[in-house]
Structure 1
Amino acid sequence: MKKLLSVILLTVFLTLSLNTISNAQDASKDLGVGFMVGEPTGLTAKSWTGNGNAIDVGVAWSFGRYDAITLQADYLWHNYNVFSEVDEGSLPLYYGIGGRLVLGDDDSYIGARVPVGINYLV
């Protein structure tokens, strides 16, 4: 059942992402798609909402500790002043708040997220 759910979620995520990318890149280039590598591993999409803010969503799978599918979403703020001396592009520090849903065969749970990182923008 979990493998079927994984395939369905990934198919929906990729279909929505690819449709949005083709529209967003032509209009305003405000959507990015990426990968999560590690535990869990999966796909992410970030949509800029303006004024240095963004919404980040992801779908990932874990074969280690949890053996589950993870769905997550975050609201992010970007600070461009911390690493302002970049030759090309920009390197904002980002931080945010969000939620996580882990769907496993044995257990499922919901939790909070507080993501922090840096993002290189070409």
Structure 2
Amino acid sequence: MKKLYVAALLFIALSGSMNYAQSKGFGLGVILGSPTGISAKYWTSGTNAFDFGLGYSFEKKSRMHLHGDYLFHSSDMFKTSENIALYYGPGLRLKFREDDDARVGFRGVLGLVWIPRGSKVDVFIEIAPIMDLIPATEFSMNGGIGFRFFFN
């Protein structure tokens, strides 16, 4: 039942009209990895954005993951005709585990994003070290690959 609910939510979220993927606007898509789920991005300027993720694990012990990051983008590192940028930034993570306490911590994200010229999508890959502080100090890593469609 949980899988059906998540699949329906993803379908609804991705089935709207799309106009372009640029360094502006709001995008919604999918991230595959740890966690797997929905990825959203809202550009605040040509180089900065807020990034949000909502993921769910269907493993033995179910868990839900929510994160929010503030991203800085740098396209000066790559000498290419493609629109590729390095991004990085600080964030927060909240994780709920079945039959366990919620965890709250800081995360840092480092990734690459490709925004094909004239396209409606961006494609990204990222890693994120996490330091949980509540209820106990614990280090972990997240990472994934994904894409987002951008709306008006």
Q: What is the TM-score when the length of structure 1 is the normalising length?
A: 0.72
Per the alignment, residue 93 of structure 2 pairs with 100
Runs of 4+ in 1 over 3 A off after TM superposition: none
What's the CA shift for 1:106?
A: 1.6
Q: 1:66 to 1:48 in 2, by over 3 A?
A: farther
Matched, 1:81 2:81: no
Q: What is the TM-score when the length of structure 2 is the normalising length?
A: 0.59
Pairs aligned (count): 110
Per the alignment, residue 135 of structure 2 pairs with none
| Identity across matched positions, percent | 36
User: How do 1:3-82 residues align onto structure 2 when only pairs under 5 Å count?
Assistant: 3=2, 7=5, 11=9, 25=19, 30-64=25-59, 67-82=62-77
Q: 1:117 to 1:30 in 2, by over 3 A?
A: same
Choose between structure 1 and 2: higher helix proportion: 1
Choose between structure 1 and 2: higher strand proportion: 2
Unaligned runs of 5+ in 1: none
| Letter matched to residue 114 of structure 1 | G
Unaligned runs of 5+ in 2: 117-152
| Letter matched to residue 84 of structure 2 | L
Q: Which has the higher contact order (CA 8 A, sep 6+)?
A: 2
